[in-house]
């Protein structure tokens, strides 16, 4: 006989009016209350159920039209309101439940209780009613344990479901069950003060927070971030503390106080958080006094968040600051999000592509798409360029229409075959080059800026010939000149103002005349600029291309050369090849300074020890 035949059905009054099946009590349990089930939906296909008077294990089964649907669940036991052992269960349904008649059966020991069959939306009760009637009266510790269980379990079971709806349900559970503290008031006459000014989402489990806190009554012993979904992160022991003149002014603090009320922190949650608002921050002091505030809306745009985080470096004085322990992982995650979000939107070939090209030339186009015409005009009378696989990568997709409209006529004028690649969004220098290189068909790769123009014909062939004649070569770069014939690039090295300062990229003999004898000797150098850098396509791809951890376009080239060096490859400077570099024509100077500080500090933290050794071997320019 099946389990289903051993139960009798009754209609339980309730908001849903759903049919409920309960076990016919056996003589063995006549003297005690039978377990009872309450069920609500967290989102489509995700169920929350309480089973009062039951003990684990508890199973949930779902069927539609008599056919069982696969489900997965997790549960936790707790002492119910009448001290009976109870179970809280979260279950996911693997098939869409909308528009179907379902029957949900909860099995515990030798008993079971069923709801339905009915449409999914009519099964059970509202989430608010379930939480109010079954959970809200529990003690503080149990309620907190259940909040954390639901947040953790749903993160494991809710893949592919409506995450926004789930976040709203988890927020409702958190607010109904959590223990509140008095709201912190920011005023000079208040002994406790707490404020959070920015929360930046790095990914669904990682965040960066900025704010300040103070307590005149006793030492602060706890600062807790509580996500809208109920996940908690203890922040106090991981904060970077800093002075805040504005807070000192508000409270009339004297300048000689050692107090640092400001704080910054990179932190991670055990469970994802996807809601825009609803964060809570609680502070507690050694006397047991606790206050809390609501956090601001989460900053989700990665580029805006990156700018907010990097701006915090303005008050620091070098790469040894522990602030970078928060800034670097935060910005690295944002850079990954930006890179992962970029896709190739469109590729157009203008003219017949060369067969079996020796080299692919990748040229990012950022803002200044007019530079395409200047470069094509300078390439047009060079047979080496006609045999090359030329790939222009548009990193400013808002300019796609004028670029593609103009590319066809430019091909008709200059008769030079090239491809134009449109990216879905701006991703930065490394992303543009790496996506362009992914389409390259040459055995060699030339990274080239759009503001680099050759001084004469034959330059590309000489670079290829030099590269092929050196077995240990990893990269080669040419001489780059300003318009007035002075040197912009004759190889890269690193310099710094003091031992505690970051190593910064520097160009040998920059600003001196291009005829300087010392700048006209082919030699190995620590690095060369990616404004014009030739390497092996296979080697470039094996190394993963330019590192996307740097912002906008700075230090990716020296990072690549250092990775080549670690692999046993040499970097060469070839002065017999000359090109003009109209440096920085599409990059805002103020933005470059801010980003450059971060890039140089990151570069130093990653490569400082190796650079120390290189520069101590006499790689600085001669006096």
Give 360's contacts (C-beta < 8 A, 6+ positions apart).
Answer: 388, 389, 390, 391, 437, 439, 440, 441, 442, 444, 445, 446, 537
Q: What tens digit of pLDDT does each residue of 527-560 get?
A: 999 999 999 999 999 999 999 999 987 899 999 9
Mean pLDDT of 372-383: 94
Mean pLDDT of 373-384: 95
Structure tokens at 437: 């290189």
pLDDT at residue 594 above 90? no
Which helix (H) or strand (E) is 249 found in, with range? helix 245-251
Task: Report DSSP state, residue 190.
Answer: -
Query: For residue 386, what pLDDT is reported?
Result: 94
Query: For residue 4, what pLDDT is reported?
Result: 25
Q: Which domains does the chain have, with CATH numbers?
A: 3-177 (2.60.40.10), 192-338 (2.60.40.10), 342-616 (3.90.550.10)
pLDDT at residue 302 above 90? yes
Share of the chain above pLDDT 70, in %: 91
Alpha helices in 311-428 (DSSP H): 324-341, 371-379, 383-386, 400-414
pLDDT at residue 79 above 60? yes
CA atoms within 13 A on the CB side of 71: 27
Which helix (H) or strand (E) is 560 found in, with range? helix 556-566
Least reliable range by pLDDT among 506-510, 549-553, 581-585: 581-585
| pLDDT interval class at 270 (50, 70, 90) | very high
Q: Are 579 and 478 in contact (CB under 8 A)?
A: yes
Structure tokens at 355: 């067969």
Mean pLDDT of 554-574: 97
Three-state SS string over 114-183 comes to EEEEEEHHHCCCCHHHHHHHHHCCCCHHHHHHHHHHHHHHHHHHCCCCCHHHHHHHHHHHHHHHCCCCCE
Mean pLDDT of 313-336: 93
This prediction has a pTM of 0.86
Selected residue with higher pLDDT from 23 and 148: 148
Tell me how crowded residue 151 is: count the other CB atoms within 10 A of its CB.
23
Query: For residue 337, what pLDDT is reported?
Result: 95
Query: For residue 320, what pLDDT is reported?
Result: 86
What is the pLDDT of the chain when averaged over all its residues?
89
Q: What tens digit of pLDDT does each residue of 49-61 get?
A: 999 988 888 988 9
Is the previous residue joined to 57 through a cis bond, with omega within 30 degrees of 0?
Answer: yes
Three-state SS for 597?
helix
Least Cα distance to 602 among 357, 203, 326, 289 occurs for 326
pLDDT at residue 28 above 70? no
Give 117's contacts (C-beta < 8 A, 6+ positions apart).
Answer: 19, 65, 101, 102, 103
pLDDT at residue 3 above 80? no
């Amino acid at each position: 006989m099946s389990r289903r035949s051993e139960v009798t059905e009754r209609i339980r009054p309730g908001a849903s009016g759903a049919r409920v099946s309960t076990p016919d009590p056996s003589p063995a349990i006549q003297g005690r209350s039978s377990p009872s089930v309450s069920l609500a939906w967290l989102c489509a296909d995700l169920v929350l159920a309480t089973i009062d008077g039951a003990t684990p294990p508890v199973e949930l089964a779902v069927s539609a039209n008599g056919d069982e649907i696969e489900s997965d669940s997790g549960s936790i036991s707790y002492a119910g309101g009448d001290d009976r052992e109870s179970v809280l269960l979260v279950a996911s349904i693997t098939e869409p439940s909308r528009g179907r008649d379902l029957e949900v059966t909860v099995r515990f020991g030798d008993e079971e209780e069923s709801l339905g069959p009915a449409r999914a939306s009519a099964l059970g009760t509202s989430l608010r009613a379930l939480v109010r009637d079954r959970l809200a009266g529990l003690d503080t510790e149990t309620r907190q344990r259940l909040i954390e269980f639901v947040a953790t379990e749903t993160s494991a079971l809710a893949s592919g479901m409506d995450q926004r709806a789930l976040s709203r349900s988890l927020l409702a559970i958190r607010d109904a069950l959590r223990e509140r503290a008095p709201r912190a008031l920011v005023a000079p006459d208040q002994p406790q003060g707490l404020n959070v000014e920015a929360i930046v989402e790095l990914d669904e489990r990682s965040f960066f927070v900025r704010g300040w806190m103070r307590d005149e009554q006793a030492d602060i012993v706890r600062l807790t971030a509580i996500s809208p979904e109920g996940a908690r992160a203890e922040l106090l022991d991981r904060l970077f503390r800093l002075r805040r003149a504005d807070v000192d002014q508000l409270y009339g603090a004297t300048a000689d106080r050692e107090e640092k009320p400001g704080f910054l922190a990179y932190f991670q949650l055990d469970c994802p958080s996807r809601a825009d608002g609803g964060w809570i921050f609680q502070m507690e002091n050694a006397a047991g006094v606790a206050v809390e505030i609501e956090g601001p809306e989460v900053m989700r745009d990665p580029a805006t968040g990156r700018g907010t985080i990097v701006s915090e470096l303005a008050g620091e004085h070098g790469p040894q600051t522990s602030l970078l322990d928060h800034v670097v992982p935060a910005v690295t995650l944002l850079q990954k999000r930006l890179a992962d979000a970029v896709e190739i939107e469109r590729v157009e070939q203008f003219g017949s592509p060369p067969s079996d090209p020796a080299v692919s030339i990748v040229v990012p186009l950022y803002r200044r798409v007019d530079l395409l015409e200047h470069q094509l005009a300078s390439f047009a009378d060079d047979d080496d360029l006609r045999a090359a696989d030329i790939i222009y990568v548009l990193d400013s997709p808002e300019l796609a229409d004028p670029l593609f409209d103009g590319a066809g006529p430019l091909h008709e004028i200059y008769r030079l075959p090239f491809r134009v690649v449109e990216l879905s969004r701006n991703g930065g220098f490394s992303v543009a080059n790496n996506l362009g290189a992914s389409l390259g068909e040459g055995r060699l790769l030339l990274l080239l800026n759009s503001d680099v123009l050759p001084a004469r014909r034959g330059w590309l062939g000489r670079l290829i010939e030099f590269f092929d004649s050196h077995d240990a070569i990893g990269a080669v770069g040419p001489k780059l000149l300003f318009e007035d014939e002075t040197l912009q690039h004759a190889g890269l090295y690193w310099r710094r103002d003091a031992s505690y300062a970051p190593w910064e990229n520097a160009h040998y003999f920059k600003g001196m005349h291009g005829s300087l004898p010392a700048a006209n000797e082919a030699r190995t150098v620590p690095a060369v600029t990616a404004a014009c850098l030739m390497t092996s396509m296979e080697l470039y791809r094996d190394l993963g291309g330019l590192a996307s951890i740097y912002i906008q376009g700075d230090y990716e080239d020296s990072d690549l050369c250092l990775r080549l060096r670690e692999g046993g490859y040499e970097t060469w400077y070839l002065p017999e090849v000359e090109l003009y570099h109209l440096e920085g024509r599409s990059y805002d100077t103020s933005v470059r300074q801010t980003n450059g500080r971060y890039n140089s500090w990151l570069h130093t933290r990653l490569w400082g020890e190796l650079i120390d050794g290189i520069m101590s071997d006499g790689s600085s320019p001669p006096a």
